[in-house]
Amino acid sequence: MARILIVEDSPDNMKLFRTILGLKGHEVFGLTGGDGLLEAIEQGGPELVLMDIQLPGKDGFTLLQEIRNSPRPKVRVVALTAHAMSGDRERALDAGFNGYITKPIDIRAFPEQIQRALDGEHPVDPIRGE
């Protein structure tokens, strides 16, 4: 199974994501913001980073650019966001995110979305089909 880093400032969301992914056998660790993100990627070697776009301090777009400019720019990074307006998904993908998952998540579809991201595919929104 995969090693997954979650960057999420909501303790409830963090607990939910860790529980779902842990039950699927993934090794999950988390950060509540961007502090220490690059170090965690370098030291922890995650295969996937799930990152909230709206974080205290630096937002997900800024943190993504820091990751892409780091020595380990190839790590897959999927946006987790409540932004579900027209164009938000495209903006995230154009910025370099490898996928886009809206919150609140569909807990039935979430494991499949994560597997698609790990397989190098874009996660598919179960409602919008994109």
Q: How confident is the model at residue 128 (pLDDT cuts 50, 70, 90)?
A: low
> How far is the C-alpha of 117 from the C-alpha of 78, rounded, in Å?
7
Q: How far is the C-alpha of 84 from the C-alpha of 65, rounded, in Å? A: 21
Q: Hey, how many other C-beta atoms are within 10 angstroms of the C-beta on 80?
A: 24
Amino acid at 83: H
Tell me, what's the pLDDT at 20?
97
Q: Where are the domains of the chain?
A: 3-118
pLDDT at 46: 94
In this prediction, residue 30 carries a pLDDT of 94
**Residue 24, pLDDT score:** 95
Domain 3-118: give its CATH superfamily: Response regulator (3.40.50.2300)
Per-residue pLDDT band for 130 (boundaries 50, 70, 90) equals low
Write the single-letter amino acid at 101: I
Among candidate residues 107, 40, 43, 53, the one with its CA nearest the CA of residue 85: 53
